Amino acid sequence: MPKCTVFDCPTNINSPSGACSKHTRPQPTTNNDDDDDDTSPPPLPPPRTSAPGHWTSTPVTKRPATPEFSPSIEAEAKELEKIICDFGGGMMLLPSNGYDMIVPGIAIGEAHSALDIEMLVAAGFTHVLNTCACEEGEDESFHVCTGPDYYEGKLVYSGFHAHDRSDYDISANFEQSNKFLSRVCKPQREAGTEAGKEVGTEGSGGGGDGGSSTPLPDPPCTQIMRRKVMVHCKAGASRSASAVLAFFVHAGMPLRDAVRLVRAKREIAPNNGFLRRLVEYAREVETKRAADGGGGSGAGSGAGAGANAGAVASSGAASIRNNALAAPPAPAQAASSTPRRIAAVARARVVCFGASLTEGLSLDNDAGAMCEVLAPYSDNLSFPKEWTVEVENHGISGERAVDMAERLNEALFWPRSPPPPPPRILQPPQPPQQQLAASSCSPRVQVVAIMGGTNDLASGDLSADEIAAAIVALHTQARTYQHANADAVTTLTVQCTIPTAIYSRLVDNEAFEAKRLVVNEQLRAWVAQQPSDEVQLVELEEAFDRTKYPERYCADGIHFSPAGYAVLGSMVSAAIVGAVA
């Protein structure tokens, strides 16, 4: 017999209405003789929503409304969405690959690629940026629960928690991601050398011609040595793409060009809220750069190189951030009786070279595992405001001094910058002899600060003589490097003694310490034989005595804390300033 069709009741029914007797609406009895006796039918019973198999309503927390933006921001976000869709034949496609290289050194990927440590190491990745990190007890459906300890010290990790929702303000995380990505790729002022690449021939493309006849814009950054970062979220399409786009804007690239460049290499799909935040962020960067005098197209470290110029103008000593240029040199003054070597040069460059202590790695005191680059000493270098100094960090964790020669040769290359524009104030014409002298007396100074030897000592297979000889060879290589251009380049090298270290396992700490003392004595003896204006020694034995200053070390007993890196930066700065006085 058929079942009740009204409430899926198991009672067998025979009524033509399809309902059982329990749920059939009784028909009113009509009495033609007495119209006033009209009885209304009883109401139907309420649905049994609490029964198994039936939906039960629960209170739902309403999401905050998407913030309103100005019409101009809305219009520009629509243009960005159209650029992305044009590559997909009018559609915003999801990624087809696990990860794609966007520029040398930066890849965008999804969760499975980011979780495969063996693949990342084999592919040469050195850093990981997780843009969808989990919070405690959070659902992993939309987040990736990795962290510093997940990568077991094999990759440098940084991450932030973000939701892929249009109401979420992802721009609040751009400062962290920009700082981390700047450790892998150096923002540059000039365009790259490989111009004119076709969009249709680069990357996955993702369907459609998307304006393939338009050349790709040049990358706004250059890879620092062999570092590679995997920027990922859950699908590798929205949060991770937004972080990379923000970094390109931070590096000086117009947002539209950044979107074209990234979309040409990988299918991306930032939500509408993220696109609006990117437009808003790009305008803030452009406004700040213009206010600081950096121009609209320059690429510095931070919002622009002008940010450092402002700091220089307001203090006697400027803290020169990584890969950033200080303010232009002050107008020429009367010659001093004891002129400084750098006071008259056109440019100076400081190359901080070494391994993890140069890169600035630290350990999380709670997790006890490798975490992001915190405060490398190169960020704490300070010079007189009249100096024009470019600082570059060339630290690669895990590398031994005996293996650094090839990488040092690459770090020493210093491309000649274009000449500064002529002054606006007209000067009287100079005689030919004075013009020749002015064009030929613009020497450049390159300072190479070398810090290595800890990994060599920890390996246990090298003698003290071999380690000291390898470090001395790096100084010789730097001082004898032949620059390709015709400018005069004066080289100054700085050597830091090897600090103490306490390994928890796999290293004989007593043998390490005994050999460390021998190597440092040999380095001191060698530096004492060199001219003081060519080689300087930074003595770390007293400043990094862990019994007196335990706060300058972090939990692993090997790397420095941020406070320790700041102390190291001030000591290296003092050595450089003292050498050129």
Tell me, what's the pLDDT at 290? 85
Comparing 413 with 113, which gets the higher pLDDT? 113
* Helical H segments across 133-173, by residue range: none
Residue with tokens 């680059």: 373
Backbone angles phi, psi at 41, to 5 degrees: -70, 150
- Give the separation between CA 66 and CA 63, rounded to whole angstroms: 9
For 103, the token pair is 């520029």
Residue 361: pLDDT band with limits 50, 70, 90: confident
Least confident of 119-123, 143-147, 358-362: 358-362
Contact 449, 464 (CB under 8 A): no
Average pLDDT over residues 440-457: 82
Average pLDDT over residues 303-320: 33
> Taking 50 as the threshold, does the pLDDT of residue 374 lie above it?
yes
Point out which residues pair with 221 in neighbouring strands: 187
Residue type, 555: A
Could you tell me which residues come within 8 angstroms of residue 8 by beta carbon, excluding any fewer than 6 positions away? none
> Taking 60 as the threshold, does the pLDDT of residue 311 lie above it?
no
Tell me, what's the pLDDT at 565? 94
Least confident of 280-284, 355-359, 361-365: 361-365
Strands (E), 61-141: 99-103, 106-109, 127-130
255 closest CA partner among 222, 220, 285, 279: 279
Could you tell me which residues come within 8 angstroms of residue 570 by beta carbon, excluding any fewer than 6 positions away? 380, 382
Contact 139, 161 (CB under 8 A): no
> Taking 50 as the threshold, does the pLDDT of residue 435 lie above it?
no
Comparing 138 with 305, which gets the higher pLDDT? 138
Mean pLDDT, rounded, of the chain: 76
Residue with tokens 């530096």: 527
Homologous superfamily of domain range 71-291: Protein tyrosine phosphatase superfamily (3.90.190.10)
Residue 76: pLDDT band with limits 50, 70, 90: very high
Residue 413: pLDDT band with limits 50, 70, 90: confident
pLDDT in tens, 79-100: 999 999 999 999 999 999 999 9
Q: Exposed e or buried b for every residue in 129-150, given b needs 16+ CB within 10 A?
A: bbbbbbeeeeeeebbbbbbbeb
Tell me, what's the pLDDT at 299? 35
171 closest CA partner among 283, 93, 290, 71: 283
Per DSSP, the three-state class of 255 is helix
Residue 396: pLDDT band with limits 50, 70, 90: confident
Backbone angles phi, psi at 180, to 5 degrees: -70, -45
Beta-sheet pairing, 317-319 with 382-384:
antiparallel
Comparing 19 with 146, which gets the higher pLDDT? 146
Share of the chain above pLDDT 70, in %: 65
Least confident of 72-76, 121-125, 262-266, 414-418: 414-418
Domain spans of the chain? 71-291, 316-331+338-414+440-580
Tell me, what's the pLDDT at 454? 92
> Taking 50 as the threshold, does the pLDDT of residue 42 lie above it?
yes
Comparing 413 with 539, which gets the higher pLDDT? 539
Share of the chain above pLDDT 90, in %: 42
- Give the separation between CA 549 and CA 568, rounded to whole angstroms: 13
Backbone angles phi, psi at 192, to 5 degrees: -65, 170
Q: Report if pTM > 0.85.
A: no
Residue 339: exposure state from Cβ atoms within 10 A (0-12, 13-18, ≥19): exposed
- Give the separation between CA 244 and CA 230, rounded to whole angstroms: 10
> Taking 90 as the threshold, does the pLDDT of residue 447 lie above it?
yes
Angle at 154 between CA 498 and CA 242, to 5 degrees: 115
- Give the separation between CA 97 and CA 204, rounded to whole angstroms: 8
The alpha carbon of 537 is separated from its chain's Cα centroid by a whole number of angstroms, namely 32
Could you tell me which residues come within 8 angstroms of residue 436 by beta carbon, excluding any fewer than 6 positions away? none
CA dihedral sign, ordered 288, 233, 92, 219: positive
pLDDT in tens, 536-552: 999 999 999 999 999 99
Residue type, 196: G
316-331+338-414+440-580 CATH: 3.40.50.1110
Least confident of 253-262, 364-373, 470-479, 538-547: 364-373
- Give the separation between CA 390 and CA 407, rounded to whole angstroms: 19
169 closest CA partner among 64, 302, 304: 64
What's the longest Cα–Cα distance across the chain?
132
- Give the separation between CA 357 and CA 229, rounded to whole angstroms: 19
Tell me, what's the pLDDT at 564? 93
pLDDT in tens, 187-213: 864 333 333 344 444 445 554 445 445
For 163, the token pair is 């939701």
Residue 206: exposure state from Cβ atoms within 10 A (0-12, 13-18, ≥19): buried
Least confident of 216-225, 366-375, 414-423: 366-375
Residue 452: pLDDT band with limits 50, 70, 90: very high
Contact 266, 143 (CB under 8 A): no
Could you tell me which residues come within 8 angstroms of residue 514 by beta carbon, excluding any fewer than 6 positions away? none
> Taking 70 as the threshold, does the pLDDT of residue 457 lie above it?
yes
Per DSSP, the three-state class of 344 is helix
> Taking 60 as the threshold, does the pLDDT of residue 573 lie above it?
yes
Average pLDDT over residues 160-166: 92
Tell me, what's the pLDDT at 388? 86
Average pLDDT over residues 38-53: 55
Residue with tokens 């997780």: 130
- Give the separation between CA 333 and CA 311, rounded to whole angstroms: 22
Tell me, what's the pLDDT at 130? 94
Residue 69: pLDDT band with limits 50, 70, 90: confident
Average pLDDT over residues 112-128: 92
Residue 499: pLDDT band with limits 50, 70, 90: very high
Could you tell me which residues come within 8 angstroms of residue 453 by beta carbon, excluding any fewer than 6 positions away? 401, 467, 471, 498, 516, 519
